[in-house]
Amino acid sequence: MKIFRTKNLLTDNLIYHHRWNVNPGYFYPRLSKMLVNRLVPTLGLSAISSVKGLRTFLFFLLSYALLFVVARRQSFRDPTSIFFDAMNAYDPVYSAIRLEQAASFIDAASNAAAPQITRAPRQPDFCLGIATIARKGARYFKDTVGTLLEGLSEEERADIHLILFIAHTDPSQHPAFAEPWLHKLADQVLLYNASEIDINHIRSLETNEAKIAGREKALFDYTYLLKACATVDTPYVIMLEDDLVALDGWYHRTVAALSSAEEQTRETGAANWLYLRLFYTEEFLGWNAEEWLNYLLYSILVVCFVACVLLIFRKLNPYTRSFLPNTIVVILSGVFTPLLIGLFFAAGRVTMLPPSRGVYQMPKFGCCSQAFVFPRSRIPELVELYTSKHIGYVDMLTEEYANARNEIRWAVTPSIVQHVGRKSSKGGDDDDILPPRKVKSKSQLTVAERLWNFGFEMNDAEALRAEHDAAKERAGS
């Protein structure tokens, strides 16, 4: 019988199989090898010369694609990641729940006949001060106070001396001044004392032009409030801005954080510490450009380590030689490992190397002055610092002072408060835009809007309430 030969090897094999009924167990391995030899060069993968090698290559390619998808899903709230999604990352998830609880609390306080303050039988541990000025088109102050007080037990509330400072020469300019909740909830409503300060100078700082600069009056108000808290003689002073949301249970977490800070300070042999930070933004916790050489050296070490492991594994396991030829070792260590390292950095530092829970030192990259706890013993020198500088930003002046003196600065993770003030107290924003707003890029946000703790929004409201209830039970037992 005449056999018709063709120029196409694949067709030729099929003809043989059809005409002579070749054993499939003999035919299909040869066909697979023929396909690899023909297709791999076409795909630009001529270095992979075996079916097992191709399978290994495809397996890692698929794994990398899956890891890429996972990294993208997990890192969209990480501002240090290339997968950061500004459109959704700034959504106030937990904050929205907390604001609803605060609104209900303030409404109840406004309608109550009697003051809402429980006086402590002893000196409180905290003087909590909040300075506020009216903002056109936005009101945060009432919500801030509501989130701080909602859910507190009588014992917790009694441990706080709350000073609410209406920082206007004419306090009636602030809408909260005429509202009943303010005087019912505060231990002290602080106003400017014209006999102690140059009230005319302060009035000159309330113009729109002076507000935009904002460097003198804001510092003066902060100092004025610090002095007021110092007279209360509490061990600690908590200074908060008026556009924050405090999580349910902030009090017992702050107490625990202070205990840890004190203990760690003693362990370091230091005499004191400067502040405990209750808020920071992850915006500045990314990969540091000045450390690029370290990142490069570690990456090279990882590549070499992977190559050595593969070679040793192949030597100790002869069975693996068929699917770990030199070309595969080169591809896995020289191609896929760098790709994985790149994905590691792309996912963001906060995602891959998140700050540990608890209290730790944050001498750099901590921003800003939204929520500080100061030991009372440090208040006199801070007042002297701010008074001598006269003009400047609280956070920058404090950090310069701390850097010059190598002061210990603590921060607590997770953040205990959230900054929700999308409209700056200095003015100059578009008054028609109310928070939150959807944007495609961080570049579309103002500086105030970018002060956001992304991890705060992942809090579970029910879990926090249960944790707070358990803390109150322990304190009462």
- The span from the CA of 303 to the CA of 298, in Å, is 9
pLDDT at 424: 58
pLDDT at 332: 86
Could you tell me the mean pLDDT of each successive run of 10 residues in the chain, 477 residues long?
Answer: 41 37 40 45 47 73 92 93 92 95 94 66 90 88 96 95 96 95 95 94 83 79 97 96 96 98 96 96 88 92 94 85 80 90 95 92 88 97 96 94 96 96 57 54 82 94 97 86
pLDDT at 19: 35
The letter for the amino acid at 457 is: E
- The span from the CA of 232 to the CA of 160, in Å, is 11
Which residue carries 């003087």 as its tokens?
A: 127
How far CA 12 is from CA of 4, 20, 33, in Å, comes to: 8, 12, 15
**Joined tokens for residue 353:** 């190397």
Q: Which CATH topology does 88-285+354-476 take? A: Spore Coat Polysaccharide Biosynthesis Protein SpsA; Chain A (3.90.550)
Kind of pairing between the strands at 358-361 and 409-413:
antiparallel
- The span from the CA of 254 to the CA of 157, in Å, is 14
pLDDT at 441: 78
How far CA 411 is from CA of 341, 364, 369, 417, 468, in Å, comes to: 29, 11, 12, 12, 21
Which phi and psi (to 5°) does residue 442 adopt? -65, -25
Tell me if 150 sits within 8 A of 175, measured CB to CB.
no
Tell me if 370 sits within 8 A of 417, measured CB to CB.
yes
pLDDT at 207: 80
Cβ of 62: how many Cβ atoms within 10 Å?
Answer: 10
Identify the CA nearest to 438 among candidates 454, 422, 417. 422
pLDDT at 58: 83
pLDDT at 421: 86
Question: How would you label 39-51 residue by residue, b for 16+ Cβ within 10 Å and e otherwise?
Answer: ebeeeebeebbbb
Which residues, 6 or more positions from 318, have their beta carbon under 8 angstroms from its beta carbon? Answer: none
- The span from the CA of 233 to the CA of 224, in Å, is 15
- The span from the CA of 10 to the CA of 362, in Å, is 67
Coil, strand or helix: which one is 89? helix
- The span from the CA of 34 to the CA of 23, in Å, is 17
Tell me if 238 sits within 8 A of 129, measured CB to CB.
yes
Radius of gyration of the chain (CA): 32
Prediction pTM value: 0.82
The letter for the amino acid at 199 is: I
- The span from the CA of 143 to the CA of 132, in Å, is 12
pLDDT at 417: 97
The letter for the amino acid at 326 is: N
Start and end residues for every CATH 3.90.550.10 domain found in the chain:
88-285+354-476
Kind of pairing between the strands at 126-132 and 236-240:
parallel
